[in-house]
Structure 1
């Protein structure tokens, strides 16, 4: 069963959304002001989205958003601002501070739900791209762990040379070539020369 999307609702009057959002498949936790919001976000609990009201006691939405974006543990979480003030300049200010979207109260529920899903889609796309980038970085680090001679061997393998030919070109024994290949396989986390060549070519790290 898929995990529910977790929303942190930050509002001094959260009753309506607290009751409604769970009917649409969201898990909701409430904070009644910015101070509570930051305390929750700095805990071990993870959220997919923050719905943040602007007018609140103790710490308003503007200051809360600034603190969210300055805090490493939660700086990338998507935030939708909720406000009763329909002013373009304030909307622009919120977006510049780091809001992902802006909803004016009173809102139409289908509109809010659509905006929540749109922001979540963008966030997931960014996360997926980041994960792919991390994989590439890990692979590059693995390649960089190869010694100069191991890279020479891998380059010759990608050119179709067999162990005997590689040994002759590098003026080493075939046993030494096999030893280099075993080290290459371990460092690149592959099981044979074909996989090593495909990985190197996909990463454009050796000549095709």
Structure 2
């Protein structure tokens, strides 16, 4: 059975900020990029992420343009749902995010690779288990292969925190390690996943739900 859900709506950016200030127990924010704001939806997304660093934010948009998806994730969204998605897709996406996952719609980018063609995360995976690449030269391991990633348990802790949108400074504080150590762990994680940025790492891992 699905537990009851209480929704609080806001018609403007100031109203949204007021709701967030008055309702600290909120479990998630659904942000419509096309909703009228005194500034654009991305700016509001950035504001909410800065003021509520661990609150899951899911972006809703009339399109699933790659540029919008990437920018949303880069600004700290944990999900991006096109408005034309089927009800079951909405449910799947929201359940994934509320349980700590990351959701992005199925998509392909242009023929230009986001990374040089290297697939280090696949070196330890059987051929049959390798997923279709999100972009040319970039493939992420499926969820069933997470435990087989050739990284240490501490690096897996860092990866989980990174996927929650936490900064290196916050990760260091939470895990009780130095910022330079976090930086080294992040570099290793990027190398294993075959990506070069947090956004690419999030998008790569987000494909594991498919």
TM-score band (shorter)? Answer: 0.3 to 0.5
The structure that is helix-richer by fraction is 1
- TM-score by length of structure 1 reads 0.45
Bigger RCO of structures 1 and 2 (CA < 8 A, at least 6 apart): 2
The structure that is strand-richer by fraction is 1
Q: Which has the larger radius of gyration?
A: 1
